[in-house]
Every structure is written in C-alpha cells, then in structure tokens.
Chains A and B, each alone.
Chain A
Amino acid sequence: MRMTKKTVEKDDGRVLIYYWFNGKSEDAVTRRRGDAEKRKGKHCPS
C-alpha cells in the first residue's frame, strides 16, 4: 500500500504533513480536478 506525503510550512512556521494512500497524491488530485474543470460545459453527443 503506497503512501505519499507532502510536508509544508504553515504561515507561522509550524510543520504540516499531508498523507495520501493507494496511489493517490496531491498531483493526482490536482490532475483530476483539472480534468473535471475541462469537462465543465461539455455535453455528451446526442
């Protein structure tokens, strides 16, 4: 089970770590969001 993580520094200098599992990651989430945005306004051909 693959774990990916991203460490960021909050505005006040505190450390925060995001975790994803099973092949998910921030990049994958961003790509999925981008794909969803592109599909907005498009309709299935009748």
Chain B
Amino acid sequence: MSELRWHPLLEQWVITATHRQERTFFPPDDYCPLCPTKDDGFPTEIPAADYELVAFENKFPSLKRRPEKPSVDETELYKVRPAAGVCEVVTYSQEHTGTLTDKSEEEIEHLIQVWTDRYSELGALDFVDYVFIFENKGREIGVTLNHPHGQIYAYPFIPPVVGKELEASQKHQQKTGRCLLCDVLAEEMDDGRRLVAQNEHFTAFIPFYARYPYEVHILPNAHRLCLSDFSEDEQKALANILSIVLQKYDNLWGISLPYMMVLHQKPTDGKEHGHYHFHIEFYPPYRTKEKLKYLAGSESGAGVFINDTLAEEKAEELRKAEPQT
C-alpha cells in the first residue's frame, strides 16, 4: 500500500509505498516485464508486439489513480493523505538491450512526442499538479530493470525541488522583470567556458552552480515553459541536442554512463507560472571513471553539495568528447 505522510520539519510530503519492496529486481532476460510478449512466451506488461513506443501504469506504483485509505489516522501534527497520482513506465524500445544513447534522433523525437502527450494527458487530470518525467539509468542509480526505459510520476502536489525553483524564478522576475533561467542562459552563453553543445533552439551547459561534476542542463534558447510549448522544429532540435549530450557522456570514458535525467517544466495546477523556464538536468554519479560521487552527510543531511571539480574544466572535457559540434 502507499500513502503520503507530511514531514513537518521540511514541510513536504513523503511517499511510503510498502508494496515496492517486492518489485521486480533484475529478472532473467527471458522474463523481462518490459519486453513485448512473444507468442509462446512469458506474459509481460506489454501484450502486443507491434508498436513503436509504449507507456503504461507501473505495476508497483508509488501513486495510484484510486489510492487506498492510509494505514494510519492523521493527527494535528502528522498529516496523512491517500497517495493519489499516476506512475507510468515509458519503454524506449522493444529491444531488451541498448540505451537512449543508441537511438536515432528521429526515435528520440518520437519519445519527445510521447512525453508531450503524457504531460498533456496526465496534467489534465484534476488531481495532478505536476507531471515529472525522468530516467534513472544504471545500477549505480538504483535501476532494477535493464530494459531501456524512463518513468513519469504525476504528483498531486508540486514537488519541493521544482517548488524552490519556481519561488526563486518568481522572486527574480519581481526584482528584475526578467526570467531567471533566461538570464542564466545569457550569462552562460556570454561566458562560454561551461558550454557543452548548442543548436539553433537549445543550449547544453554545465552550470556555474553545478552540484555534480558532469551535471549538464539543457535549456531552450527561447522562453518556453513546458513540452507543449515546443514547435515541431524545436522538438527536432531537442532530440538533436539530447542525442549529442548522451553520446558525449558515453564517449567521455568509453562506458555507458549512468545518470539521472529529469525534466523540469511548468506545473499543471492550473496556474500560469509564466516566470518558469523548461529545462532538463542530468546528474551522472561518477566524478572520475572509477569513482562515484556519493550523497553523504553534507548533501543528504544538510542539503549542501560538495563538488570536487570545476564546472569549466568538466565542460571542456565534454566539449572535446565526440560528437564535436
């Protein structure tokens, strides 16, 4: 079962989802639940074999369209709510092996169209305030299924990280009359040392304030709030720059680089949020080919990240990695 428990110190919800303890954990390849069901094979999550991409509700969801009653009664201090929302899995391919990096730009563009469709459809649900699209890649991140896939969490609230970004963006707008991330982008372009790749519509860079050594952000050059704002040309350009960044990551050390990829965009709570700016953030956990960056005491206990590297140097490494643009 799952429920939302209120953390009164951090003023945010914690999702408890006890059934997730039993979720599928690295099954044998023949029993992959994300492969299409073969005629004489194990019945997977995907009954049909003829499709290009598929999205489906997670079998072990943290949030549910029809959640159960919480396991405990709330008190004045300890609020509890049913875990209403939607959790989806989006498979990147029918093939069991491979990664998003292996996909063509056209295939990535198809994925962007699926993301856009899910953002609109889930965002239209009256109990959904934020559609969070993300990918966990690699065992180091905690992935439990090898089949290339991403996820979508449609939350009934604005998650705290995005909430903080929204607050900062609004303050900046009120102070300057300008979008905060438009100004960040202008400063990064002006400086140049942290740029990783650019095309007509998007810029990828390691930000001045990067918390992970190879943390890349991708921003649309124009002020766009969400996936639904993109034209067809912008979707193509996003596919292009995603492909470039993903290839650069893998070519850095010649390994399939683990990462978390997260999409930050306008909430779907019915408010304008005109001060916000769509962007994608990557958090690769490796700080060298052999060493992981752990979220230890300072990061987890105090919320203060220690970055052992200079963003300018890491960006130069990524610029030099193929494909060079």
- Closest B residue, CB atoms, query A17: B55
* B109 CB within 8 Å of chain A: yes
Does B95 have its Cβ within 8 Å of any Cβ on chain A?
no
CB distance from B235 to the nearest CB of A (A): 8
CB distance from A42 to the nearest CB of B (A): 23
Give the shortest distance, in Å, between A28 (CB) and chain B (any CB). Answer: 9
Query: Do the beta carbons of A20 and B113 come within 8 Å of each other?
Result: no
A36 lies within 8 A of chain B by Cβ? no
Q: Known: A3-B117, A5-B117, A26-B50. Contact between A15 and B110, CB under 8 A?
A: no
Mask: chain A, 9-32; 1 = CB below 8 Å from B; 0 = not: 010001111111100101001000
State the CA gap A26–B47 with chains docked (Å): 13
CB of A1 closer than 8 Å to a CB of B: yes
Asked if B59 contacts A18 (CB within 8 A), the reply is no
In the complex, what residues of B have CB within 8 A of residue A10's CB? 45, 47, 56-57
> 1/0 contact trace for B98-133 toward A, CB 8 Å?
000000000001100110010000000000000000
Q: Are B54 and A16 in contact (CB under 8 A)?
A: yes
Task: Please pick, from B50, B56, B57, B232, the residue contacting A1 in the complex, using a CB distance under 8 A.
Answer: B232
Give the shortest distance, in Å, between A12 (CB) and chain B (any CB): 8
Cβ–Cβ contact B113 & A18, under 8 A: no
Return A6 CB to nearest CB of chain B, in Å. Answer: 8
| A3 to B, closest residue via Cβ | B113
A14, A15, A18, A21: the one contacting B48 at CB < 8 Å is A18
Q: A-B contact count, CB below 8 Å?
A: 54
B51 CB contact (under 8 Å) in A1, A15, A20: A20
Q: How many Å lie between the Cα of A15 and that of B117 in the bound state?
A: 14
Smallest distance from the beta carbon of A3 to chain B beta carbons, Å?
5
Residue from the set B57, B114, B117 with the largest chain A CB neighbour count within 10 Å: B57
B322 at the interface (CB under 8 A from A): no
Q: Determine the distance from Cα of A14 to Cα of B86 in the docked complex, in whole angstroms.
A: 10
A17–B50 contact, CB under 8 A? Answer: no
Given A5-B117, A10-B56, A14-B57, A19:B109 Cβ within 8 A: no
Q: Is the CB of A24 within 8 A of B52?
A: yes
A17 to B45, CA, bound (A): 11
Q: Which of B57, B109, B113 contacts A15 (CB 8 A)?
A: B57
Q: Which residues of A are in contact with B by a Cβ distance under 8 Å?
A: 1, 3, 5, 8, 10, 14-21, 24, 26, 29, 33
Task: Point out residues on B near A: beta carbons under 8 Å.
Answer: 45-48, 50-57, 59, 109-110, 113-114, 117, 232
Q: List 18 A-B contacts (CB under 8 A).
A: A1-B232, A3-B117, A5-B117, A8-B47, A10-B57, A14-B56, A15-B56, A17-B54, A17-B56, A17-B117, A18-B53, A19-B51, A19-B52, A20-B51, A20-B52, A21-B52, A21-B113, A26-B50
